[in-house]
Amino acid sequence: MKGKRVLLRCDLNVPLSKDGSGNTLITDDGRIRASIPTIQFLLDSGSSIVICAHLGRPKGERNAELSLRPVAQRLSEILKREVRFAENVTSTETQSLANDLKAGEILLLENIRFEAAETSKDENDRKALATKLAVLADFYVGDGFGAVHRKHASVYELAKALPHAIGKLVAAEVSVLQKLTLNPARPYTVVLGGAKVSDKIGVITNLLNKVDRIAIGGGMVFTFLKAKGYEVGKSLLEMESIETVNSILSQAKDLGVEILLPTDVVVAPIFADQSPSIVSIGEIPADQIGLDIGPESAKMFAAAIESSATVFWNGPMGVFEFSNFAEGTRKVAEALTRVNGLSVVGGGDSAAAVRKLGFKDSDFGYISTGGGASLEYLEGKELPGLIALQ
Ligand code: ADP
Ligand code: MG
């Protein structure tokens, strides 16, 4: 590796917020820290590194709000060395920045998703971008676990365009996921929440023949409640998924899989950290939004979790960013820390939530950096980013 240049795909997709004066803050740097072991290994081996990563969903357009610049700064603080930054991924200037790197030097490329080709459905677009990126390095190392389920240029085509290796984070993630899939100790409970309703509803069908119980909270639960005939007021709702949900519920019944739904929820009149009230699921007011599972439900979920030997959790139970709606997530996290067996928390926001609520990484069996990626692995899907590295 000495004197070689490595293009390292990392997952640096960290949650951001703004301070009072409008500066961007990194709310949870877990994914940056999780990338350090591979970066350090490469530096110790005498190579230079070009890091490629994405942030959010800029949809192929430059967007100052989603620049990786603040990430370069944090990375530099953690590594205690300079991290250079390339504004434009494919420019000749970036090529010379890469060429000039000496052993132990790091260049971070701007958000790769500013390039429309990164996520293009057209394989030729992606290949063209991969070819431009490939000239920046001698080797490719895939360590962006949170993106391995995406057939994107920097995840799939680029890995194939250069001699490649699997990064330490991806290897660690996969070894935990193997424990969750090859003969997991039972009862096996999966807890799902969060905001990406349609992404996650699809997942459940595929998990039904693998687990004993699925507990559902977060934004997606209102589509379930609606399917069961409850009114959900102004809560997140996906009418087009109602049919899927009904079929999930009947399949679960046939397979003997328990689906745990909340019996009470915390609602508020507006999407803000104020005026919470607890109502039973039969009494959600038409003009209110469900923002957390209620205390009775949290207790029920906790009991199911604590009596399990294997638990995988993805997606906060409520809008934990608001302290009035964080209690469901806290109770579920607490229950996971008491599991006598393997407990895994997955997902960028879920990991941020448990840290924000004051839990330590060591309270859990493993905190995965991937939400969607972990779920797709558990479903038994083939992940493009892993296939390319095989
Ligand atoms: P992860 O990143 O862990 O995979 P998601 O991105 O799917 O999780 O979801 C996280 C987001 O879900 C959080 O920002 C949280 O505020 C939001 N969320 C949770 N419950 C609700 C709800 N009832 N209504 C709206 N948003 C919710
Ligand atoms: Mg998220």
Please report the atom of ligand 1 found closest to the CA of residue 221: 23
- Compute the distance from residue 81 Cα to the ligand 2 centre, in Å: 29
**pTM: predicted TM-score of the whole model, two decimal places:** 0.89
- 17, 235, 349: residue to mutate for ligand 1 pocket, most atoms within 8 A of CB: 349
**Residues contacting ligand 1 via CB (< 6 Å):** 193-196, 218-219, 236, 290-291, 314-316, 318-319, 321, 347-350, 371
Encode pLDDT of 141-155 as tens digits: 999 999 999 999 999
Please report the atom of ligand 1 found closest to the CA of residue 217: 20
Encode pLDDT of 86-101 as tens digits: 999 999 999 999 999 9
- Compute the distance from residue 80 Cα to the ligand 2 centre, in Å: 28
Mean pLDDT across the chain, nearest whole number? 96
Q: Is residue 27 helix, strand or coil?
A: coil
Q: Which residues of the chain have pLDDT under 50?
A: none
- Compute the distance from residue 158 Cα to the ligand 1 centre, in Å: 31
Which ligand is closest in space to the CA of residue 200? 1
Encode pLDDT of 289-315 as tens digits: 999 999 999 999 999 999 999 999 999
Residues 352, 27 contacting (CB under 8 angstroms): yes
Beta strand spans in the chain (E): 5-10, 16-18, 24-26, 48-52, 83-86, 106-109, 139-143, 164-166, 188-192, 213-216, 258-260, 264-268, 277-280, 289-293, 310-314, 342-346, 366-368
Q: What is the pLDDT of residue 305?
A: 98
d(CA 128, CA 148): 20
